[in-house]
Amino acid sequence: MTVDPRRTALGLGRFGLGARPGDLARDEPVEEILRREVLAAVVPMPGGPDLAAAPTLLSALRAEEQARKLARAGSPDGPMPAGPPAPPIPERTYRAEVAARLALAQAAPVGFVERLVWFWANHFTVSVARGPQLRVSAGAFEREAIRPHVLGRFRDLLLAAATHPAMLIYLDNVASVGPNSPAGQRRGAGPGKGLNENLGRELLELHTLGADGGYGQDDVTALARILTGWSLQRDGNAEGLPGATAFRRGAHEPGAVTLMGRTYLDIGPEQLPMALADLAAHPATARHVAFRLARHFVADDPPPALVARLARTFTDQDGDLSRLALTLLESPEAWDPVQRKVRSPQEFVVAAMRGLALAPDPRLAMAGLASLGQPFWSAPAPNGYPDEAGTWASPEGLRTRLDVAARTGQLAAGTDPTAFADAVLGPLATDETRTALRRAESRAQGIALVLMAPEFQRR
C-alpha cells in the first residue's frame, strides 16, 4: 500500500498525541500503525513510588489529617521542625500522577490508546476540585477503573468506574442511605431522606443512556436505591483498608426495584452489576457513546453515518471497546481531510512537548494547563471538560495559547523552526505558515508561529 504523507500527518494528529521527530517519515500506512496499537491490547500503566492504590492513598490522607490535628492540639512550645515542611499528601500525589501521565504521553509511539484513556476518563469524570480526597484518588481512578478496561467491555468499564472510591466520593454516594434500611431506620429518616441521587442521575444522563435516553425521575430514584450501600471501608479489617470500596448491607435500601421497565430483586451487591449491565446494553447507550466518540475525534457535529456505524458496532460486538476503536479507524468519514477539531489545551501542550522532544516538566505543564483552563482531572462539573471547538478557540483562549506558545518557543530556542514544521506538520503546513517562518525574527518566534499555526492547533 502506498504511504500518503498527508494522511500520515493527519492521522497522527487526529487519533494520536501528535507527531514526534521522524514519525512522518514512516514507510507504513498510518491506518496500520493505529490498528496495530489497538490490536496489541496493551494499555500503558504509569508507575512511580507515590502512585499507590486509592485505598492506600485515602488511608494515608486520613492518617495525615489525624496527625495534623494532634499536632495542633499539642504544646505550642514544642520544637520547630527543621527545614521547610514537605508538601501534604494530596499535593504530592497529584504532582506524581501528573508527572506519570506526562511521561506516558511523551513515550507513546503514537498515542491512540492513550487518547482513548483520556476520552474515557473525561466521560467518567471525577475532579480534584472537590477536595483533598479527590486530589489523592483522581489519578488512581484513571489507573484502576479506566486503563484496565479501555480496550475491554463497556459494562466492565462502567461497573469499575461507578464503584471506584473516587466516584463514590465525587458524586456523594458514600452519604447515601436507604430510608428503609437498618441504618436509615436508626437515623429516623422518613421517605426519601438519606437517599442521594447524584451518582444515579449521572450514570443515566452522562455515562450510559444520555439526556435523551428515555429515562425519567423514577428511574433516577430507582438507580439511587440500587446504589445505596455502596460506600467505603471505615476502618481497616480483613476485607480491606479504610477507603476501599465496600458494600454495606445495613445501608442498602431493601426490596425489589424497577429500573427502565426491568425489575431487580434485592440480592445484595449483585443487584448493581445486573442493573448496570442492562444499561450498558441499552440501544440508547450505544447511540450516546457512539456520538460522543465521533464528536471527540472527528467533528463537533459528527456525520450521522459514522455515529450509526459506531452504535451498530457497539451493539453487535457487546460493547467491545477495542472493536469500537477499530470501527472508528476504518470509517471513511473519520478521515475527512478537513481538520474540524481544535486541540484541547491538554492535547496542545502534549503535542508541543512531543514535537519538540522536550523532557516532561510537570510544574511547567501544570502552570500552562491551569492558565489554559484544563488542568488534569479538574473538570468543573460531572459532564467533564467540553469537547466542542468553540470552547477552546475563544479569543481569550487563543491569546493565552499564544503566551504559552511564546514561552515554549523560548524553551526550545535551539530548534530550527523549519525543521520543526517539517517534523510535526509535514505536508499539512500551508504556504502562509512557511512564509511566516521565513519572516520570523528569531528561532523562538518561529517555534511559536508553528505552534499557533491553524494546522497545528487543529486536528
Alpha helices in 82-216 (DSSP H): 89-107, 112-123, 132-141, 154-163, 165-170, 182-187, 198-202
Q: According to the model, what pLDDT value does residue 419 have? A: 97
Using a pLDDT cut of 90, give the percent of the chain over it.
89
Average pLDDT score, the chain: 94
Query: Is 5 a residue whose pLDDT tops 60?
Result: yes
For 188-239, the pLDDT digits (tens) are 654 546 899 999 999 999 999 999 999 999 999 999 999 999 999 986 554 5
Q: pLDDT by residue (tens digit) across 102-117?
A: 999 999 999 999 999 9
**What are the domain boundaries of the chain?**
41-70+88-154, 345-457
Q: Is the pLDDT assigned to residue 390 strictly greater than 90?
A: no
In whole angstroms, how large is the CA radius of gyration of the chain? Answer: 24
pTM (two decimals): 0.95
pLDDT in tens, 15-59: 999 999 999 999 999 999 999 999 999 999 998 888 999 999 999
- pLDDT at position 128 is 97
The DSSP call for residue 258 is E
Which spans in 320-453 are helix H?
A: 321-330, 345-355, 362-372, 389-392, 395-411, 417-424, 431-438, 443-452
- What are the φ and ψ backbone dihedral angles of 416, each rounded to 5 degrees? -75, 120
Of the listed ranges 149-153, 195-199, 390-394, the least confidently predicted one is 390-394
The pLDDT tens digits of the residues spanning 412-434 come to 999 999 999 999 999 999 999 99
Identify the band that residue 242 occupies on the pLDDT scale cut at 50, 70 and 90. confident
State the pLDDT at residue 238.
Answer: 45
Residue indicated by cell numbers 514537605:
86
Choice among 8-22, 225-239, 274-288, 341-355 with the minimum mean pLDDT: 225-239
Given this model, what pLDDT does residue 70 score? Answer: 84
Residues 251-272: what's their mean pLDDT?
Answer: 97
